[in-house]
Structure 1
């Protein structure tokens, strides 16, 4: 598997750059939402051209949510200031020590489709601790990853997880600090009404409601620290603009959509970036958008790693890229 690290070097400068930056994780989300058997017909995910996405993708109600999970994760690790501000506040309420918020995406098969899959195994140490909010010593997170992945597929039935973190299978992210090596399981929902608490979950990330407060608060009923991400002129608004670009582009069979589909000039500019690159693979296009997201915005490095059980055997869990937390607060 690959380990990919990204660091934000400069703040986003304009609307086109901001949309292009968020289009990248949305394309990742769609690519890794494709069913594994469909991908196998064409080779690997790295072989899929951008022009093939609208023909391979089967739109579903959960698509926006999957991409929002990935975009939120990406925003933390890119060091997007207004997102980091909310996440830092949420971590303080959870009494997570350390500085420099980081995010690790953890997913598995849901609803019969291959969701964007990352594993935290290669990123955590043997001492990485999960703060669950219950009394007692924090559990070591890495040793329970395989049980959490298996519980994903069984929707929590017959889980081998300790009782104190039995709801860990519902986590979408692990938020925490790589300096202190303490983490909290986090659920991400694009619809606040779908937010559910469970044992082991500590934070719920949702979009702030347009025009309303995005204050972080403790939800006693769900036993979650709710972390609304800012809307007006900020992350959530940019996410929806980027989502609009990608959906319109795919609906136009990976061609430049009509002006009526994308009336904003900034959105059409980013859609043109995609249309001009339709013959390239999705992963190549995502890489190509880095400088267009703003020259010098991100620094990306990749490496290889194997995930094995403590006994030295293969973990037996299907994985894709691993996104290492490397935030830079600007």
Structure 2
């Protein structure tokens, strides 16, 4: 049994500046890289909680899927933080095209796995209730997601379990996120791909999240062949530009053996400032660095509104457990 703390947070201010925006996106990138490390290697290093930032260059082996995993984490975190450009795009996709009602946009990070390395964060049970429904667009009654979440997790790894799932949610085990509205308890299976050509359709997946390209339209489209509502996240001076810039910082930091990269590697003043924050914390565990960067990544962006006692996770598979966030996209704070 594991304990997961749950709290609600609401956005009260927009992004403050470029540096704080970069820090905000670097946090899920570091998290994605940490949990994509080979589980056996991390175990020898003392576990995820003890891996120091300076060890990342020694334990990390670059792979084609790394940026994709980090993109999944970054999109999930952007919804959690109430990043306007991301939340507004997702809301348009959910409300206009998937007919999801509600106001409290939320995200459940369901799973990501690379080269056998474990990554399946058990965030589902803390947000789901007995009335949570997975909407697929089918005419049939939507299934209760919480009832099938363990079976979906098993189907992700064991194809022999897939026939036991209702046909209406076939393929939902491939979802990267479940996006939805917490106040109405309605959810949509979502595929998140850094490469739009890798989007796969399935009965249990209705939304695809991809990057838009510089100078290109970020208009929502319908892919009839895959039955997907495709939501490209905006690039120019927006989320995708920040994400790629943050990805460059982390990769150059790793290439420099967790020391300060050369100026030619990070010529931007804001990038170098963020890299310096990482160098100063290289002797601390990565999980502590991620936590420490929180207060300086978009100050006063979130307001904690409630807290509940820990709940238990009975997931049979090994899982790294993190605090669950139930995000509320906007909040008007009364002045005193």
User: Normalising by structure 2, what TM-score?
Assistant: 0.91
Q: Secondary structure at the match of 2:73?
A: helix
Shift of 1:291: 2.4
Alignment counterpart, residue 144 of structure 1, candidates 134, 148, 172: 148
The answer to whether 1:80 aligns with 2:83 is yes
Which blocks of at least 5 consecutive residues in structure 1 are unaligned? 309-314
Which blocks of at least 5 consecutive residues in structure 2 are unaligned? 332-336
Q: Is contact 1:290-1:297 (8 Å) kept?
A: no
Alignment counterpart, residue 135 of structure 2, candidates 131, 138, 146: 131
Deviation digits for residues 49-92 of structure 1, max 9, x if unmatched?
11111111111100000000010111111111111110000001
Shift of 1:158: 4.5
Q: Is contact 2:258-2:282 (8 Å) kept?
A: yes
Q: Is contact 1:164-1:199 (8 Å) kept?
A: yes
The answer to whether 1:12 aligns with 2:15 is yes
The answer to whether 1:327 aligns with 2:331 is no
Matched pairs, number: 323
The answer to whether 1:27 aligns with 2:30 is yes
Shift of 1:219: 1.2
Deviation digits for residues 252-292 of structure 1, max 9, x if unmatched?
11111111111111000000000001011111111111222
Partner of 2:316: 316
Partner of 1:312: none
Partner of 1:253: 257
The structure 1 segments of at least 4 consecutive aligned residues displaced by more than 6 Å after TM superposition are 300-303
Q: Is contact 1:131-1:183 (8 Å) kept?
A: yes
Alignment CA distance shift 1:86-1:173 (3 Å)? same
Alignment counterpart, residue 61 of structure 2, candidates 58, 63, 87: 58
**Whole-Å separation in 2 of the counterparts to 1:122 and 1:302:** 10
Q: CA RMSD in A?
A: 1.8
Partner of 1:311: none
Q: Is contact 2:26-2:246 (8 Å) kept?
A: yes
Alignment counterpart, residue 207 of structure 2, candidates 194, 203, 226: 203
Alignment CA distance shift 1:48-1:302 (3 Å)? farther
**Whole-Å separation in 2 of the counterparts to 1:40 and 1:157:** 29
Q: Is contact 1:119-1:319 (8 Å) kept?
A: no
**Whole-Å separation in 2 of the counterparts to 1:303 and 1:29:** 27
Deviation digits for residues 135-185 of structure 1, max 9, x if unmatched?
20000001111111111113x455122111110111000010000000000
